[in-house]
Amino acid sequence: MTIGWTTVPIPQRAKKSSTARQRKTRPPRTPKVYACVCPNCGETFEATRSKTYCTNRCRLEAEVVRYTRKKLTEHPDGWPEDIDAVVRTKMAHAVTGTYNKNARRLSPKRRAEVIARDGGRCVRCNGEGTEIDHIAGDSTDLENLQLLCNACHRHKTNSCITEATDPESRATSKRLWLRVYAREPLRVCDASDWAQNRVTWLAQHRAQVF
Ligand SMILES: [Zn+2]
Ligand SMILES: [Zn+2]
């Protein structure tokens, strides 16, 4: 009766499917948490892998310092007026830390809506409209957007900037300008080759916590 019986290994498939079932019923994994070092301020902060700076303010600071250092190298005898306007605006945003690039980003659809509503013309001078302006704050609602030409946009942005008088803003501004004029970059993110070194540097300054 028992002759001819052969033992066979338990099919792998059966085993696999049981673990697969287990995996399905397991609660979702908690996201990985990393301890990161902010390249701008040097503070350690908690983040997921994709974050470079600890705060939006740190991102703005790093961007304006790097941008301004680059423009100084490109224009050693003084930069043109349009760059001056950009630097002033970026500096103002970094000092207040309120400008949120991601929140202000417009979809192609919203862009087209603004251009169509304003008939492709600058709402201030009726010249050719080339830039979409956020009237006040970061909202991307249609009512908060208007079409302007480059000159009117620059003029409006400049007129919204004023000399800071409170000691905290002045100290921040001074700290940023010292970084701009430093012969060698004072922070790793101030260097012109930061774009190339960023990924490596971040990998070296990040540890998985759990
Ligand atoms: Zn920071
Ligand atoms: Zn205009």
CA-based max dimension of the chain: 102
Residue 29 has phi, psi (to 5 degrees) of: -65, 145
d(CA 183, CA 170): 22
Instruction: Indicate the average pLDDT of the chain.
Output: 88
Cα 7 to averaged position of ligand 1 atoms, centre (Å): 64
Q: Which ligand lies nearest to the CA atom of residue 129 in the structure? A: 2
Contacts (Cβ under 8 Å, ≥6 apart) of 198: 39, 52, 189
**pLDDT tens profile 193-206:** 999 999 999 999 98
> Quick one: tokens of 157?
């942005």
CA 21 to chain centre: 40
**pLDDT tens profile 80-132:** 988 998 899 899 999 988 888 888 999 999 999 999 999 999 999 999 999 99
d(CA 173, CA 90): 11
Q: What does the pLDDT read at residue 5?
A: 61
Cα 124 to averaged position of ligand 2 atoms, centre (Å): 5
Cα 44 to averaged position of ligand 1 atoms, centre (Å): 8
DSSP state of 190: G
- Looking at the whole model, is its pTM more than 0.95? no
Kind of pairing, strands 131-134 and 145-148? antiparallel
